Structure 1
Amino acid sequence: MHSHRRVELSLALTFTLLASTSALAQGTVALEEITVAGSSGGDVAGANVAPTRQSGLAPRGGSLTVPTIEQARAEIQFTPGAVEVVPDTAYKNRPAQTLKDVLDFVPGVIVQPRFGSDARLSIRGSGLSRNYGNRGINVFQDGIPINTSDGLVDFFEIDPTAYRYVEVFKGANALRFGANALGGAINLVTPTGRDAFPYDARVDVGSFGYVKGQAATGGVSGPWDYFATLSGERFDGFRQHSEGDSVRGSANLGYQFSPDAETRFYLNANTINSRIPGEVTRQSALRNPRAANPYWIQLDQQRNIDSVRLANKTTLRFNETTVDFGVFTVQRHVDHPIYQYLDYTVADYGGFVRITDDRIIGGFRNRLVMGVNVDNGTIDYRQFVNLPGARKGALTFSSLDYSENVSAYAENSFFVLPNVSLVAGGLFLHATRDRKDRFLSDGNQSGRNTYNIFSPKVGVLWDVEPGWQVYGNVSGSAEAPTFDANSFTSAAFSNLKAQTATTYEAGTRGIRPDFTWDVSLYRSEVRNELQCLTTSPFSPCSLINANRTVHQGIEAGFGVAFLKSLVSGDDRVWFNAAYTYNDFTFDRDVRYGDNRLPGVPTHYLRAELLYRHPSGFFAGPNVEWSPQAYFADNANTLTVPAYALLNVRVGFDAGAGWSGYLEARNLFDKHYISSVAIAGVANASSEIFNPGNGRAVYGGLRYRW
């Protein structure tokens, strides 16, 4: 693994970034207005921005290519389904190491840490059986895919402190990105020079050797604006053999040709190194949670990534019509000694065009969104014997994998009344998975599969009154298999089918001065669910199709203010809660009957009592509660125990100048299991469990000027 010296150097470079860019800080910078926002709870609650469907177009003088938080909120109100905008105020006053810290108060999103910065993320049961890599969710940074072109995604490259806000589109509500996975899409949005502070620096430290430094700068000079951020992080890890380090940087440069034409260039670069502690038995995870699997230590199992992402997006506005188009390329090298030594290079490329037309037709408002996405790429893959100490042995496999994905989509909202719209649309996906085997001594494993799927959508959206919406929809989704656990050596693998689903959804969202809510109920009838079952800790999981499954549940977020004016006229205590009910089962399966699908809790609650003073001071406890054991295998023979964690945090943030926090997690040092690698049939000796972190304390300081 690379030396920690590189990260120590990066921490110094992070803070010298501020001085090195000061010469560019010319003109004025439009600072974001600090508002209390966030209908799903989290760091702040009681939004001042009501969910009304006004145009989300940027005003003259703002950025056309990157919506502000307020514009993003306005845009999602056209969606007749569960969506969320999470502002950076919800996660930057805490140790934001993984997506769990960002999305834990979004109902319906389950993030289960594995080690370090790695985690498994599931929305509505997406990718339930995946314990390494994630599937069933499309993840974007500034609209640029983070997933490899075959659909797999890791979260190592995500730096939560880099983003202005995060958009969450659950299920088929991600149609505006051309995304069509069961879990939907997540879009991570970085600031621009038009809404960033000229200088912004922070440092975070905490338990298990955690230290992180980050700096950012942005500004405007005539028609140009720029933003850049750089962070360095290192940690020893709660468990043995889980230390890691990373350097992550993002930048964008925008140019406005006119108030109605703007282009923006993006650069994102990362280097991430981490050791892997490995899964252990249930008994080991609960009795000795800091221990790594000895076999992982023997082989010095690691995951090391170097990646560069380049993109351009251009926005043109023609009165009632807005056109967005762009191109991107992602180059990623993964050095990954595990059960064998994996060494592969990913080269993805693509582009998109999206047209939004909002006009009056025959006296009725009509809003049409349509577009085409292309996401293609290759994986130059080699696999070697992993000798003790993470050394390459003999070559055991080599292939060139090519993925092609072309999607065309359209969604039309017709306002039959000024406050009621009927929504209809659909997405057509053409996907190809083509493998060229270059290691033929064990037989030719070349193969090619093609998938052509249309997924329709219909819905209705009713603005009952300003700040209150009711919605419903019926929509389809489809996912082609990924390469990592796919093989063409047998008919079962060669004939893997795409996973498809029909989802029925109804819900409501709203905002009042002292009360916010966001509730949805859904039922997804899934066909050919892609499961990746763990059979041995010394090999990858095996990909299969489960015939019929049902994913249904409740996603409920609430924020309630009470105990007002305790010290001053505007202070108050907020109760924020995000509850998720997951009722996932097989449907008359020939082997598993109507068993429950394993992998996530049936009930999951995040709740917080937070006192907030208008000066910026905040303090309060919060809990994470999984009140019922859930299964670790399809056969429902082994369970993950229930658990409850108590945390507390205190801090100060006035929106500018100095801010800081102190947070204690798992105060009672509870031994619990945070994630599990799903098996078909498990037993007491199955090494499939990842223990959660023990008691920890973190603190951070930030200065914006």
Structure 2
Amino acid sequence: MTRYLLASLLATAAAMPAAAQSHDAAARRADLLRQRAAIDAELAAIEAPTSLATTAAASGDVVVTARALSLTTKLTGQTTTTITDAAVRNTPATTVADLVKLSPGVVVIQGNGPRDVGVSIRGSNARQSFGARNIQVFEDDFPVTQPDGLARFDLTDPHAYGAVDVVRGPSSARYGNYALGGAVNFRTRAGRDIQGAEVGTDIGGYGYANVYATIGHAGAGYEYSLFGSLVGADGATGHTGYQTGTINALATVAIGSRDRLTAKLIYNEGEFRLSTRLSYAQYLRNPYQQGCERAATAAPDCGTISVFVNGVSGARIAQTAAEGDLARNDRRTIAGARWEHDLADNLTWRTQATFDSRVVNQPTGSTPFKGTLDSYQLSSDVTWRGTVAGMAATGFAGVFYGYLDNQSYSFNKTPAGRNGIGAPTQTVFGDVRNLGLRAREELALTRRLMLVAGIGAERSLIDVRQTAYAYPANAAATLTLIPANRSFWNVAPEASLQWQAIDAIRLHARVGTGYGIPQAGSLFVTSAGVPGNNTALRPQRNTGVDVGAQVTIGRTLTAELTGYQEWFRDELVTQSAGVNLLAYTANAPRSLHRGVEAGLNWRPLSGTSLALSYGYNDHHYTDFAERLTAGGRSAVFDRAGNAIPGVAPSFANVRLGYDQPSGSAQGIGGFVELTHRAAYAIDNANLLSVPAYTLVNVNLHYDPPPGPGWWRRMSLFASVQNLTDRTYVGSASIIANSLGGDRAALTNVTGSVYAGQPRTVFAGVKSRF
């Protein structure tokens, strides 16, 4: 019976049409492997063990395929979406936003600077004006979120990736601290898909140019890929631009039949010129900050910063971004190693270590920031595949540890440009540590019904000391030491059911939990936006349920629909206290997040395609009393029922395309794309909202299939982004309400708005060898 079942499974896979088999290979392989686990366990008792090398040789795969349970790819019982490089292969793909925006439930905004991107899953990162918070980010399953919860997206090049996995919903049982919204895993292109070299260049408006190359290969016992790029541009907004270089490498080698070793390297260094954020009123009158070179002769509505003339205290002057030469120079080095060892045919031990160094020099405003933040992350786990009470099962258990060494400094800026570093304002020294364990069990209750249960437990410690400097007039400088020694204990369970109702329809229901401790920097800024003790902050937690369906009909149609509701406790809300003041953080006791996500990929006719991703979010406070203070006056305002600022109620991306499927014109194609974002509030009182926008992008390309002739090794494209030249808000930081303030007052609060990119033309060429 066992041999017959195995033969039937293999025959079913072989009988699939070639095109469908290619399209569904990853999903089908995962299903077959789960079903084969029970078969392997029975065969092991009556036959000699089959080595990994033998299995791989028989199937045609390289021998370095991982056997441990994947962290992020094709998760059972949870809403996940995978975007392949086919979606952006013939586009400029200037930032990772071009990839992740194609996933339902994901919203992207411009961050601090022309290449920085904010990525939010179910509104998780909506209040953050740079980087990524409240989601865990991986690359090839190596962590690129540091133990303090920060990941950055301006240090990566989308050309390096073959796919992106987006995991949605609270996931701390699997990913630990800060996984309140889920996780994103960027997968570099596999050597087996390259088998040679590719070089390309993209050019575009506002000085954009990207030169990149990839080499890769795979054979019996090894696989590698190496990517490098050099990218630069001048932004449309005054005093914005960047130059950044990236090296990204992944290599895996089989050591015998039971061991596999994987090495990962990412290196990036970038120089970025930054503009200032504007008030909403300034944005309406001068969105791209034209004529803003010098404060003394600047055009109206130019953003400025206020700096001490002597860099210490006393008199101040205003400077534009160009005068102050606001900038960032960041360097990131990530090196990781992963070892998999098969203790038995159905038992794999995986150990992984990652070193992540972030060196920053950021004269981005009136208080430049410098620092070295080195982190170390270790994990070790086992994956077991077999049977429990006659049911196929996959078990997982592991331990993990993360350590961040924080050494950072802030200074007053002087009028002397980028290198005008004045007196220190604060130093922060210390560390953040996370130590925990996690376990997971996937049990096939029937051939079509899977039960998943998991739990994670984590001990987090923040041991950081801030020294704040003050410079009273006619007196010696004063130093105030503020220690923060906080410990947190968090437990996150999850459970789900996944039912393959029929071959074409998969349903799931899930309850998951998430948690995130405060950032160390949040403990040292009071609600007045000045250094001080804010160490009473509590960690935020959420419990979420979601119900979803996925439909797959051959290569013609894939669709997904998910509804979710999440209950937050002590949500950490961060906002600006005003001009030249620091952002501060507070706890909102209770809030409710709910929404709907939909995705569609449909090929109704040969060569045609329709892709849709959509997310609807209704996020609001259910218990939050905000205290506002001005001088000797103070008042409390009830924000219950108000929308959480920064969260767009809806975000949609629609792409209609055509690619000639055959004949001499095969490979010629194009698409029209619409991206829509609804209006959203940017203050807790919901007095001020930035307007909705819809962008139109068009693309033409030639991407022929492999074959004889040099032209079949070439790919070409031309794209126009923001075809209608719509002026829109690319990013808006949350601003604080004030006593007696109304909407008119809020529109004049500076430090919030960046304009999005105007109409820009791109073109690119790529060659394969």
Moved more, 46-55 or 210-219: 46-55
2:134 is the counterpart of 1:87: no
- Within 1, Cα distance between the matches of 2:621 and 2:389? 48
Compared with structure 1, are the counterparts of its residues 179 and 218 closer, same or farther at alpha carbon in structure 2 (3 Å cutoff)? farther
- Within 2, Cα distance between the matches of 1:53 and 1:193? 24
- Within 2, Cα distance between the matches of 1:352 and 1:299? 44
Q: Is the 8 A contact 1:172 1:182 kept in 2?
A: yes
Q: Aligned runs of 1:248-397 on 2, under 5 Å?
A: 248-291=246-289, 293-295=303-305, 296-317=321-342, 318-338=344-364, 339-388=366-415, 389-390=417-418, 391-397=420-426
Moved more, 413-422 or 189-198: 189-198
Compared with structure 1, are the counterparts of its residues 492 and 419 closer, same or farther at alpha carbon in structure 2 (3 Å cutoff)? farther
- Within 2, Cα distance between the matches of 1:610 and 1:597? 36
2:463 is the counterpart of 1:421: no
Q: Is the 8 A contact 1:599 1:675 kept in 2?
A: no
**Match for residue 141 of structure 2?**
143
Shift of 1:281: 1.7
**Match for residue 729 of structure 2?**
673
Shift of 1:302: 1.3
Compared with structure 1, are the counterparts of its residues 383 and 621 closer, same or farther at alpha carbon in structure 2 (3 Å cutoff)? same
Listed one character per residue, the Cα deviations across residues 431-458 of structure 1 (whole Å, up to 9, x for unaligned) are 1111123557331112111110101111
Compared with structure 1, are the counterparts of its residues 439 and 281 closer, same or farther at alpha carbon in structure 2 (3 Å cutoff)? closer
**Match for residue 405 of structure 1?**
434
Compared with structure 1, are the counterparts of its residues 78 and 223 closer, same or farther at alpha carbon in structure 2 (3 Å cutoff)? closer
Moved more, 680-689 or 480-489: 480-489
- Within 2, Cα distance between the matches of 1:362 and 1:169? 31
**Match for residue 28 of structure 1?**
none
2:680 is the counterpart of 1:630: yes
Give the letter for the 1:660 counterpart.
L
Identity of aligned residues (%): 24
Relative contact order, higher structure (CA 8 A, sep 6+): 1
Name the structure with the higher helix share. Answer: 2
**Match for residue 110 of structure 2?**
113
Shift of 1:546: 1.1
Q: Is the 8 A contact 1:531 1:546 kept in 2?
A: yes
- Within 1, Cα distance between the matches of 2:276 and 2:705? 41
**Match for residue 534 of structure 1?**
576
Give the letter for the 1:385 counterpart.
N
**Match for residue 557 of structure 1?**
599
Compared with structure 1, are the counterparts of its residues 679 and 526 closer, same or farther at alpha carbon in structure 2 (3 Å cutoff)? same
2:631 is the counterpart of 1:598: no
Shift of 1:322: 2.3
**Match for residue 509 of structure 2?**
472
2:250 is the counterpart of 1:245: no
Shift of 1:560: 2.1
2:641 is the counterpart of 1:641: no
Q: Is the 8 A contact 1:269 1:309 kept in 2?
A: yes
- Within 2, Cα distance between the matches of 1:475 and 1:276? 39
Residue 60 of structure 1, aligned match among 56, 59, 76: 56
SS of 1:446's equivalent in the other structure is: strand
- Within 2, Cα distance between the matches of 1:619 and 1:448? 57
Q: TM-score, normalised by structure 1?
A: 0.88
Give the letter for the 2:368 counterpart.
Y
**Match for residue 14 of structure 1?**
none
2:105 is the counterpart of 1:103: no
Compared with structure 1, are the counterparts of its residues 253 and 48 closer, same or farther at alpha carbon in structure 2 (3 Å cutoff)? closer
2:619 is the counterpart of 1:584: yes
Q: Is the 8 A contact 1:547 1:589 kept in 2?
A: yes
Shift of 1:304: 1.2
- Within 1, Cα distance between the matches of 2:260 and 2:500? 32
Shift of 1:462: 0.4
Compared with structure 1, are the counterparts of its residues 612 and 220 closer, same or farther at alpha carbon in structure 2 (3 Å cutoff)? closer
Shift of 1:160: 1.1
Shift of 1:670: 0.8
Give the letter for the 1:546 counterpart.
A
Compared with structure 1, are the counterparts of its residues 697 and 589 closer, same or farther at alpha carbon in structure 2 (3 Å cutoff)? same
Listed one character per residue, the Cα deviations across residues 208-267 of structure 1 (whole Å, up to 9, x for unaligned) are 110001011123476444321110000001211111110000123332112331102222
Q: Is the 8 A contact 2:127 2:646 kept in 1?
A: yes
- Within 2, Cα distance between the matches of 1:63 and 1:432? 42
Compared with structure 1, are the counterparts of its residues 340 and 669 closer, same or farther at alpha carbon in structure 2 (3 Å cutoff)? same
State the superposition RMSD in angstroms.
Answer: 2.6
- Within 2, Cα distance between the matches of 1:101 and 1:528? 33
SS of 2:534's equivalent in the other structure is: helix
Give the letter for the 1:393 counterpart.
G
Shift of 1:576: 1.2
**Match for residue 524 of structure 2?**
487
**Match for residue 567 of structure 1?**
none
SS of 1:369's equivalent in the other structure is: strand
Q: Is the 8 A contact 2:224 2:251 kept in 1?
A: yes
Shift of 1:352: 1.0
Listed one character per residue, the Cα deviations across residues 104-127 of structure 1 (whole Å, up to 9, x for unaligned) are 110101011233211211111213
Listed one character per residue, the Cα deviations across residues 438-492 of structure 1 (whole Å, up to 9, x for unaligned) are 5573311121111101011111010112242100111111001112333177997
Listed one character per residue, the Cα deviations across residues 625-648 of structure 1 (whole Å, up to 9, x for unaligned) are 12x421111110001101111111
2:608 is the counterpart of 1:608: no
2:442 is the counterpart of 1:442: no
**Match for residue 768 of structure 2?**
704
2:523 is the counterpart of 1:523: no
Listed one character per residue, the Cα deviations across residues 266-324 of structure 1 (whole Å, up to 9, x for unaligned) are 22111011111121122332342211623333322212111211111112233122222
**Match for residue 130 of structure 2?**
132
Give the letter for the 1:536 counterpart.
G
Shift of 1:684: 1.2
Q: Is the 8 A contact 2:525 2:583 kept in 1?
A: no
Moved more, 247-256 or 294-303: 294-303
Q: Is the 8 A contact 1:144 1:328 kept in 2?
A: yes
Give the letter for the 1:315 counterpart.
E
2:734 is the counterpart of 1:684: no
What is the aligned residue count? 655
**Match for residue 17 of structure 1?**
none
Shift of 1:63: 5.5
Q: Is the 8 A contact 2:613 2:653 kept in 1?
A: yes
- Within 1, Cα distance between the matches of 2:243 and 2:407? 25
- Within 2, Cα distance between the matches of 1:66 and 1:544? 46
Give the letter for the 1:699 counterpart.
A
Shift of 1:396: 1.8
Q: TM-score, normalised by structure 2?
A: 0.81
Shift of 1:542: 0.6
Give the letter for the 1:443 counterpart.
T
SS of 1:313's equivalent in the other structure is: strand
Residue 199 of structure 2, aligned match among 198, 201, 204: 201
In structure 1, runs of 5+ residues without a counterpart are 1-34, 39-44, 565-570
Compared with structure 1, are the counterparts of its residues 49 and 251 closer, same or farther at alpha carbon in structure 2 (3 Å cutoff)? closer
Q: Is the 8 A contact 1:178 1:372 kept in 2?
A: no
Listed one character per residue, the Cα deviations across residues 488-538 of structure 1 (whole Å, up to 9, x for unaligned) are 779972011111000011101121132110111110100111111112242
Give the letter for the 1:500 counterpart.
R
- Within 2, Cα distance between the matches of 1:455 and 1:366? 22
Give the letter for the 1:695 counterpart.
R
2:489 is the counterpart of 1:452: yes
